[in-house]
Structures are given as C-alpha cells and as structure tokens.
Amino acid sequence: MSNKGLQKTLGFSAALSTVVGMVIGGGVFFKPQAIYSATGGAPGLGMLAWVIAGVITIAAGLTAAEVSAAIPKTGGMMIYIKEIYGDRLGFLTGWMQAVLFFPATAAALGVIFAQQAATLIGQSETNMAVVLPIALGIILFLAVLNTVGSKLGGTIQTVATICKLIPLAVIIVFGFINGSGDNSITTPFIGENLSMGAVLGQVLIAALFAYDGWINVGSIAGEMKNPGKDLPKAIVGGLSIVMAVYVVINLAYLWVVPASEMATVSAPASLVAERIFGPMGGKIVTVGILISVFGGLNGYLLTGPRVSYALACEGTLPGSKALCKLNKGGVPSNAIFLMAILACLYALSGQFNLLTDLTIFIIWVFYVLTFIGVMKLRKDQPNLERPYRVPLYPIIPLIAIAGGLFVIVNQLMNNTLVAAGGLIVTAIGLPVYSVMSKKQKNN
C-alpha cells in the first residue's frame, strides 16, 4: 500500500509524542531486577546500560526510518526485508514474529502481570498455582476483547498509555523527595569475579527490552508534513526523552533502595513505591503499573495477529484459509486466538526474564538485517525515492549494526541455550515456507 492516500498532517510535536508513547512500556518497572542481578548487585554498569541501550536505540530508529519511508507499505519489518532480500527471508521474518516474538512477549507480560497481581492479593509471586491461571486468564481475556473489534482494543490502548505515565511521574517526584539518597549510584561498577563483556551483554538485552517498540517509529513517515526534516528530530528527541526518563527513574529507584536489594525482587518499582508511601500507597502504585502492563499486553495482541493474518492471506502459513478470515467485527479473530494459544504455551514457563531475553535476541537478529538492508538498498537502488535519509551516513547505521551484533554474539556465547532455542524455532519456518510454496504452485 502506498502512502499516497495518507494525509500529511503530522508535525514535529505529534511525531515526538508518538515516539515516546510507542516506546515507554512495562520494562522500566521490572528490568532493573535483571540488570542488577547480572551486575552482582553493583549499580555502576547498570546505570550506564540505560544510556548505552538508549544510544543504540536512537541509531537504530534513525536507520530503520530510512527504509520505512522508502518502502511505505503495510507490514513493517517483514515487508522491508522481503523487498530487500527476497520472499524467503521476508517470510522468515513474519514467521519469527508470528510464532515467537509477539506471542512470547505477550506471554512475558502476562507472567509479570500475574506475579504482581498475586502479590497484590497477598500471594507469593512464585506460587505457580496462582500465577499461571492469572497469566493465562489475562491473555485469553484480552484476546477475546480484541476479537470484538479494533476500536475497543484501541480504546484500551489509549487509556493504558495515559495510566502508565502516572506511576512513572509519582515514583520520580516522591522518590527524590522522600528517599534518603544514601545508596551508591556509580560504584561499584560491577560485582567481584564477573566478566565485563558477558555482563554488559546481559544488561543490554534487559535494557533493550524496555526500549523496544522503536521499529514502529518509521511507520508515521508517510503522514508527516516534512519527514526529511522532522522525522530525525522526532526520533532523536523522542528517544532522548525516553532515555532521560529511564535514567532519572532508575536514579530515583537507587535514591530509595540499593541496587543489591533491587536484584532480589521481580518488581523494583513496586518495592520503591512501598518504601515511599507505605504498604497501601505501594499497592496503589502497583495497580498503576499493572494497568501499564495490561496496556502493553493489549498492544501486542492488537498488532501481533496482523502478521500471521498477512502471511495467511498470502497462503504461506499452514491453516491459511482459517487464519485469513475476518469475523463480523472486521478483525482476524482466528489469528488472534492462534497468537493467544501460543502465548499461553510460552507463559507456562512462568519466566518473565527468560522469555524477554529470548524475544529480544531473535528480534535483534532481524533488526540488524534491516540496518544492513538500508546500506544494501542505497547500493542496489540509488535512485529510489527517499523522503528521509539517515543523517551522518554511514556512521549512524554502523553504530546500530555494531550494537546489535554485540548483543547477538554475546547472547550466543553466554546464553547459548536461549539463543539456540530462538534460532531453531525461527529456522523451522524454512521447511514450512518450502512446503507451502510448493503447495501454492500445485494449486
């Protein structure tokens, strides 16, 4: 679909708010635990990770926006890779998103929602007899809501977006006012007997989950009045605001609770809120955080099924006829339930950090392909119309590629089983594509 039909109404301020709204999610409330656990309870490298991950994300957003503006078609990264590298790799991108990235991320959000809900009702977050039914229930509940129609899903998203900013602001303001400020923020940099390279990879994977969502930034290029001028400013400005918020709220966390203690709890934000406001105030802030996670989960169930629906309509997925159908509400209900079922299966692991490590590793493999694709497209199609060009080319793309490769290689070396699992599930898409392609030709 061309961008010719889109009205160019978005200016800089609208684009800036879109960037911030798409990126800020639940990761900032929960990922400090994984970060400070990896650093051995040391705050220095943990704080630096938020800055490094932010710089990598800004470079990534600036780079991917060029290909997004040059290929203004619906489908996102799957379409970019298909146009640059061919049908097979394009399908593999969609397959990875449909069977792994979207459902496993939804599962992770379902699990962390359930863990926090369990503690809110006085149960242990490790009590799987309570956590798993809540996780599966919330995933299926939102799946059903999204089959009613995209308007309801969009309304939920709007309300949750507003609500997620409240606990952020409350913790930042009252954390600095009521916190002691006695805890160390920069030292020690890393725990004793730990490898800097290995730990840096782990903390970046955790922080990049909190920054994820930037790939959608380029999708607004076709609706901007002046994308060449305003899009890079919106990306740099928006992601810089996100990075500043993440750094400041993590400073606020440390102002109240030491890094060594945050390493031991799944929801550092809730712990900090309880220290600031007491048990009841902490519970109120936790409810705000739950609404934020609820909105994040809804967002994935709103957008993720569109990938499997698109693949099904091309006839490249098993069960394509059923998955390509729309219900009376005009939404791909079968594709929504497919994602929900896969998410429930992943959620049975009960592991938030394991699932997010898995999804961020595999999605960054394809992000790097997209960054390289920007350079390939410049070489192969120099005359292609580009409403926006990445600034400081090729430095910015190379920063994005280098950052992504570091994360990928580090995970392959230090978290081999998780990385291998992601690659195997993705690689299953190759024989699926071959079989379904032959089936299409025979028909």
Q: What is the mean pLDDT of residues 416-421?
A: 94
Q: What is the mean pLDDT of residues 82-87?
A: 92
Enumerate residues 6+ apart whose C-beta is below 8 A from 210: 25, 27, 28, 31, 53, 246
Write down the H helix ranges in 97-226: 102-120, 128-148, 150-178, 196-211
Supply the pLDDT for residue 443.
67
Q: Side-chain half-sphere of 368: how many Cα atoms within 13 Å?
A: 16
Judging by beta carbons within 10 Å of its beta carbon (0-12, 13-18, 19+), is residue 128 exposed, middle or buried? middle
pLDDT bin (cut points 50, 70, 90) of residue 91 is very high
In the predicted model, is pLDDT for residue 9 greater than 90?
no
Domain count for the chain: 1
In the predicted model, is pLDDT for residue 275 greater than 70?
yes
pLDDT bin (cut points 50, 70, 90) of residue 2 is very low
Task: Flag whether 378 is in a domain.
Answer: yes
List the CATH number of the domain containing 241.
Answer: 1.20.1740.10
Q: What is the mean pLDDT of residues 199-207?
A: 93
In the predicted model, is pLDDT for residue 154 greater than 80?
no
More confident of the two residues 186 and 100? 100
Domain that holds residue 368: 12-383+392-438
Task: Flag whether 184 is in a domain.
Answer: yes
Q: What is the mean pLDDT of residues 21-37?
A: 87
Task: Flag whether 4 is in a domain.
Answer: no
Supply the pLDDT for residue 149.
65
Q: What is the mean pLDDT of residues 396-413?
A: 94
Q: What gap in Å lies between CA 391 and CA 389, rounded to an integer?
A: 6
Axis-axis angle for helices 128-148, 102-120 (nearest 10): 120
- For residue 381, the one-letter residue type is Q
Q: What is the mean pLDDT of the chain?
A: 88
The answer to whether the beta carbons of residues 372 and 332 sit under 8 Å apart is no
pLDDT digits (tens, 9 = 90+) for 281-323: 888 888 888 888 888 888 888 888 888 888 998 888 888 889 9
pLDDT digits (tens, 9 = 90+) for 374-395: 999 999 999 998 888 999 999 9
pLDDT bin (cut points 50, 70, 90) of residue 442 is confident
Q: DSSP characters for 399-427?
A: HHHHHHHHHHHHHHHHSHHHHHHHHHHHH
| Ranges 98-102, 146-150, 265-269, 392-396: which has the least confidence | 146-150
pLDDT bin (cut points 50, 70, 90) of residue 90 is very high
pLDDT bin (cut points 50, 70, 90) of residue 416 is very high
Task: Flag whether 443 is in a domain.
Answer: no
More confident of the two residues 235 and 423? 423
- For residue 143, the one-letter residue type is A
Supply the pLDDT for residue 150.
57
Q: What is the mean pLDDT of residues 52-57?
A: 94
pLDDT digits (tens, 9 = 90+) for 222-236: 667 777 778 788 888
Task: Flag whether 2 is in a domain.
Answer: no
Task: Flag whether 45 is in a domain.
Answer: yes
Q: What gap in Å lies between CA 28 and CA 427, rounded to an integer?
A: 31
| Ranges 29-43, 146-160, 201-215, 425-439: which has the least confidence | 146-160
Phi first, then psi, for residue 324 (nearest 5°) are: -85, -5
Task: Flag whether 195 is in a domain.
Answer: yes
More confident of the two residues 220 and 67? 67
Q: DSSP characters for 265-279?
A: -S-HHHHHHHHHHHH
Q: What gap in Å lies between CA 184 and CA 47, rounded to an integer?
A: 11
Supply the pLDDT for residue 4.
45
Q: What is the pTM of this model?
A: 0.89
